Amino acid sequence: MTAAAGDRGNGTAMEIRLTVNDAERVADVAPTTTLVELLRDHLALTGTKVGCGHGECGACTVILDGRPVSACLVFAAQCRGRKVLTIEGLSASGEADRVQRAFVKAGAVQCGYCTPGMIVSAYALLSSNPRPSRREIEEAISGNLCRCTGYVKIVDAIDGASE
Ligand code: FES
Ligand code: FES
């Protein structure tokens, strides 16, 4: 059952307002609705993925008030009045962000399931540290698991996207 379906049967649903990708959004959520459920099931922003559902894989990484977070660990109600940036927000202009382009150029995408979270983590890193070392890149994506690539091309991509 999706969170949206569950909320309809939950008398404790509450309205929250928040900013997602620079747009004000309103949703009715249950106290137990997570941020990733809000994004995917209520706001149809399915670029953010769900892997483990308990903070281990990084597939659900989004930026909350400027900091990367695992959206499966944050309740939607905690995001009231706050700003969320998702993978969709990185290409809101219709053009791929430089980090996205760098992933394609470096061949850092295989199955792609980890890629949105990986790119969001990389975007957060480069926003605060435009010229990270490879060590700093590895640390920044240490919470993002990839079962396909071996990480070398991912680090190459982020290195290539840095200034
Ligand atoms: S789905 Fe959130 S960390 Fe794995
Ligand atoms: S590309 Fe498949 S999990 Fe990373």
Pocket of ligand 1 (CB under 6 A): 50-53, 55-60, 70, 72
Average pLDDT of span 100-123: 97
Ligand 2 mean position to 118 CA, how many Å? 9
The first and second tokens of residue 86, run together, are 């998702």
pTM (predicted TM-score) = 0.92
**26-54 burial code (b ≥16 CB/10 A, e <16):** ebebbeebbbbbbbbbbbebebbbbbeee
Average pLDDT of span 2-22: 72
User: Is residue 145 within 6 Å of ligand 2 at its C-beta?
Assistant: no
The domain locations on the chain are 3-88, 98-161
Shortest-distance ligand to the CA of residue 58: 1
Q: What is the mean pLDDT of the chain?
A: 93
* pLDDT of 2 higher than 60: no
Sorted by sequence, the CB contacts under 8 Å of residue 84 that are 6+ apart come out as 18, 19, 20, 21, 35, 39, 62, 63, 64
CATH class of 98-161: mainly alpha
Average pLDDT of span 64-74: 98
Closest by CA position to 61, among listed 1, 144, 5 = 144
Query: pLDDT-derived band of residue 11, with 50, 70 and 90 as boundaries?
Result: low
| Three-class secondary structure assignment of 135-150 | HHHHHHCCCCCCCCCC
Average pLDDT of span 84-113: 95
CATH architecture of 3-88: Roll (3.10)
**What is the per-residue pLDDT for 150?**
95
How far apart, in whole angstroms, are the C-alpha atoms of residue 104 and residue 28? 37
How far apart, in whole angstroms, are the C-alpha atoms of residue 40 and residue 45? 5
C-alpha distances (whole Å) from 34 to each of 55, 84, 103, 123, 162 are: 12, 13, 28, 22, 32
